[in-house]
Amino acid sequence: MNRVIIESFARWHLLGPACIIASLFLIAGSAYGVADTYTAPKQKTEQLRLVTYSLSSSFGYDVHLGKNTLYGAGVLTEKDISALPLNIVERIDGRFYHSIAADQPLESVSHEVEVRALLENPNIWSKTIVLSPRTLIESQQCSVIFAIDTDMLLELAEIINSELLVPSTTYNITIEADVRTTALTPNGAIEELITHSITGKLQPTMLTWKPPLDNNHSGFLESTEVTPVSPGTDRIWWPLLLVLAATAAVYFAWSYNRAVPLLASVTRRDAAAIRRKYKDLVVDVTELPPTQDTQAVIEVSSLDALAVVAERLLRPVLRKAVPDGWIYCVVDGPTTYQYISRDCPAYSAAGSTPTVIDKS
C-alpha cells in the first residue's frame, strides 16, 4: 500500500470528527436562519411624526412699592428682584403666561387655566387657596393676572397655627397653574394637560421665590403606517446553506466510517509484511524483558535500521502488540535498541515518522 494513501487515511482519522462536528454546527446555524427568515413578519409598522408642537409657560409678578429709600417708589418685576421685602410692598400682582406653537397651522386653539396657591407649615399642615378660578381663553397665547395677597396669606397661616397650637414664622408657598390646551391641525387634534408651578418661602417680612419661573414642554402627533416587507434573498441563501451543510455532514460521516476500517486493514497488512520480510529475525512476544534502571534505551529511526542492529549483534527482534501499534526491540545486555510503529503516522513516538514497508 502506498505511504501517501496511508498517511491520508491517518490524517482523516484525526480530522474527520472535527469536520463532522463543524458541519453539525453549520446545520444548526442554517436551520436557525431558515426559521428566522420564514417566521419573520411579512409587514412592518412605523410611527410617522405628523405634527410637532411646543408649549411654553412662565410665571411673573409686578411688585408695587410704597415710599422707601432702598428702591424708591415704583414697580419691580421678577427680572429685578426675587426676594421681596414685604414692609415696603403695597401689593403684588402675579402673572401667568402660556402659549402653543407648532410646525403646522393651528385652528380652534383654547386654554383652560386655573391658578392656585398652596400654603404649608412644613410637616404640620397645608392649605390650598384659589387665586384665579378656571378660565377659558380662546387664543394661541394667553395670560392670567392674579393677586398675591401676602397679608391675607400670613393672617390665614396665623389663624391655622393658633387653632392647632403650633408655632411657625416661615411657610412654604407654591403657586401652580393647571392648563388644558386644545387645538386642531390638518393632521389631527392636540390635547395637552400640564401643571406648571413655582415655589418660595413666605415670612412675615420677606417673600422669596426660587428659580426657574418658566417651563417648556414639547409633544407630537403620530400615525401608524404598515408597509409590506420584501423577503429579499435570505429565503434563497439560508435554505441553500442548510442543504450544503447537511450534504457535507453526510459526506464527512461516510468518509470517516470508510477510513477507519481501511486504516485498520492497512495496519494489519503492514504488520504481516514486516513479519514476512524479517521472518528469521522477528519474534512475537507477549511481554518484553523488564528494563533495569541502568538499562540504556536507544530509539532507532526505522525498522530496517533495527534489523541491521539485530543482524550485527546476532540478536532477535522482539515484537509486542500494543493498542495503537507495535513495539520492536533488540536487547543487548545493558542496551536496548527500540523502534515503535504506530497505527497512525501522526502518533509517532519522539516526533519521528516510522517507515512503512511496502511489499506491493
Q: Which residue has the higher pLDDT, 53 or 10?
A: 53
What the block records as the C-alpha cell of 105 is 397651522
Question: 22 and 153 in one domain?
Answer: no
Q: Which positions ≥6 away from 195 have C-beta within 8 Å?
A: 176, 177, 178, 179
CATH code for the domain of 179: 2.60.40
* Residue reference for cell 441553500: 240
Question: 175 and 137 in one domain?
Answer: yes
Following CA atoms 248, 253, 257, 260 in sequence, which dihedral angle do they give, to the nearest 10 degrees? 80
Q: What band does 204 get if pLDDT is binned at 50, 70 and 90? A: very high
Residues 314, 204: Cα–Cα separation, whole Å: 127
The total number of structural domains in the chain stands at 3
Question: 343 and 290 in one domain?
Answer: yes
**Residue-wise pLDDT tens digits, 310-335:** 888 888 888 888 877 788 999 888 88
Helix or strand holding residue 159 (H, E): helix 150-164
Domain finish residue from 163, 195, 227: 227
Instruction: Name the packing angle between helices 234-277 and 3-39 (round to 10°).
Output: 160
Q: What is the pTM of this model?
A: 0.54
What the block records as the C-alpha cell of 72 is 424708591
Helix or strand holding residue 270 (H, E): helix 234-277
What mean pLDDT, rounded, does the chain reach? 81
**Tell me, what's the pLDDT at 139?**
93
Quickly count: other Cβ atoms within 10 Å of residue 90's Cβ: 11
Question: 212 and 269 in one domain?
Answer: no
Domain finish residue from 200, 227, 254: 227
Question: 137 and 26 in one domain?
Answer: no
Mean pLDDT of the region 343-359: 36
User: Which strand ranges, in their side-by-side order, compose the sheet holding 125-137?
Assistant: 83-85, 206-209, 188-203, 171-185, 107-121, 125-137
Question: 242 and 219 in one domain?
Answer: no
Question: 336 and 269 in one domain?
Answer: no
Q: In 3D, which of 87, 139, 92 has the Cα closest to residue 112? A: 139
Percent of the chain with pLDDT over 90: 42
pLDDT value at 270 more than 90: no
pLDDT value at 17 more than 70: yes
- The values of phi and psi at residue 169, to 5°, are -125, -5
Question: 241 and 223 in one domain?
Answer: no
Q: Which residue has the higher pLDDT, 87 or 226?
A: 87
pLDDT value at 19 more than 80: no
Question: 354 and 244 in one domain?
Answer: no
Question: 71 and 183 in one domain?
Answer: yes
Domain finish residue from 204, 227, 250: 227
pLDDT value at 134 more than 50: yes
State the residue range of the domain holding 357. Answer: 278-360
Question: 266 and 316 in one domain?
Answer: no
Question: 222 and 234 in one domain?
Answer: no
Mean pLDDT of the region 105-123: 95
Q: In 3D, which of 268, 251, 180, 229 has the Cα closest to residue 23? A: 251
